[in-house]
Structure 1
Amino acid sequence: MKTRDRRQGLIVVNTGEGKGKSSSAFGMAFRAAGWGMKVCVIQFIKGQWQTGEQKAARRFDNIEWHALGDGFTWDTKNPEQDIKTSREIWELGKRKILSEAFDVVVLDEINYCCGYGWISGREIAEFIERHRPRWMHLILTGRNAPPEVIAIADTVTEMTQVKHAFEKGIKAEQGIEF
């Protein structure tokens, strides 16, 4: 593994309407953990919903996983609570980045928070530019990545949905969706 003084940290953004944004981020997280890097995953939306990737992460001693949030929020009954929760999670994310304890930090579904207006893209981009250690890899996921975050990213992938099983009435399948 490259030492921190020899590593160029990357900012990676996975966005778009298609499936695979978080899955791609978790693949990179597991890859980094396999190389002995310390990884922190912070999920902004999932809440207490149990996922296979979270269960798999428990097998690694170098992955710290935080599944937070109030669950899926597009039909929220309490937007003030969603804003408060998202802001608290963002504060945790900033602390983890500032701690310099991790080689990779995944901010899963943070882009949704920007799309809902709970956290501004400018605030995220400015924090990253000022405070992320140059050697730290940072991965941000979710639809509607803000232009300010896209502008500072090194790699941006937009997932495009061609078709999805849900359109046939097939509900989320264990091992594929969660």
Structure 2
Amino acid sequence: MPDADPRWHHARMTDAPNLRWDVRTFAQLDAGALYALLKLRSEVFVVEQQCVYLDPDGKDAHPDVAHVIGRADDGSIAAYLRILPAGLSYPQVSFGRVLTAPAWRGRGLGDPLVRIALEEIERRWRGSDVQIGAQAHLEHYYARHGFVRNSDNYLDDGIPHIDMLRAAGATP
């Protein structure tokens, strides 16, 4: 039962409409949930953004990776991101694969999704800096959450990106 597992965490409910927010490890994802999140990630990052790359990159199954999932009442995934421990992508804790399902865009899910990720990071790795690779056009969005640009622009799969750091204890 997931509630008995200390690695499972049910995130607090936010003001986002009709969503249940869960944080799961790879081992806690059943086949249907894993298929749904990988399918949605491919729809958004590979098809919609026209980036030909291997989305299942070997990091999802790491035992310290957390998958933050916002589910609609019908069980479909409305919003998602994954949290990576320090050393897996950056020297610091990070998160990525941030998305809102097309049918749920424009409903303000991004802010609660990032807040839940930051709360989960603080719960798991108290006092940690957080490093992300963000699409460059989202710099001001992430700055609202306490992130500061710490790189020049670079291309990642043909899309302009920047690295951003949120120092431990930073407040939006």
Query: Larger relative CO (CA 8 A, sep 6+): 1 or 2?
Result: 1
The structure where strand makes up a greater share of residues is: 2
Q: TM-score, normalised by structure 2?
A: 0.31
The structure where helix makes up a greater share of residues is: 1
Q: TM-score, normalised by structure 1?
A: 0.30
